[in-house]
Amino acid sequence: MYSFLTLPVDIIYRILDHLDILTILLSLRNVCTRFNIVIDNYRPYVTLTDLNLCERNINGSKLQQLSYVLKNNTTITCLDLQQNELVADDAKYLSMILKENHSITTLNLLINEIDSQGMQYLADGLCHNQALRSLNLEQNRIGTEGMQHLARALRMNPVKEISKASFSSS
């Protein structure tokens, strides 16, 4: 008789084939060392470079879980969190991702609720990130103070080459 921890890898792969990537990331990553090893060698996970989570209600505790998974991920280069109703507290988790992850080059935060406080958290993460090249903050509530936080982050990290930083100051 098998327990889930002693199942042969090919059977676990068959189970994973029936799960979406978000379920794998949020439910199976970091459960135990064996699962991490199996997932790290699971082809759809290994080849995943674009993580599109548009309109998936990835905020609060889900974003916190995702941040723990992504901080050590080396394959995902594009993270799309468009229209997830992200607020300032969520930006803390994004900051953690930016500080720890060195493979994400594109971050899309289009149409969220990030305000100047949230931008302060993001700016803190940007100060420690050398990889990010494209950042979309369009249709957030960053305001003038948030723009100042962004400018400070870019001054502190002069090697940063953000090719797209679009935002609304309203």
Closest CA to 83 of 121, 109, 120: 109
pLDDT at 165: 52
Q: Where are the domains of the chain?
A: 1-48, 49-167
pLDDT at 113: 96
pLDDT tens for 40-76 read 999 999 999 999 999 999 999 999 999 999 998 999 9
Q: Which residue has the higher pLDDT, 50 or 162?
A: 50
pLDDT at 148: 94
Ordered alpha helix ranges (H), the chain: 9-16, 21-23, 33-40, 43-46, 61-70, 88-100, 116-127, 143-156
pLDDT tens for 82-138 read 999 999 999 999 999 999 999 999 999 999 999 999 999 999 999 999 899 889 999
pLDDT tens for 10-23 read 999 999 999 999 99
What do you get for the CA distance between the two ends of the chain, in Å?
61
Q: Are 121 and 153 in contact (CB under 8 A)?
A: no
Closest CA to 83 of 125, 136, 25: 136
CATH 3.20.20.70 fits 49-167, yes or no: no
* Mean pLDDT along residues 135-151: 92
Q: Are 73 and 103 in contact (CB under 8 A)?
A: yes
Closest CA to 38 of 20, 54, 16: 16
pLDDT at 80: 98
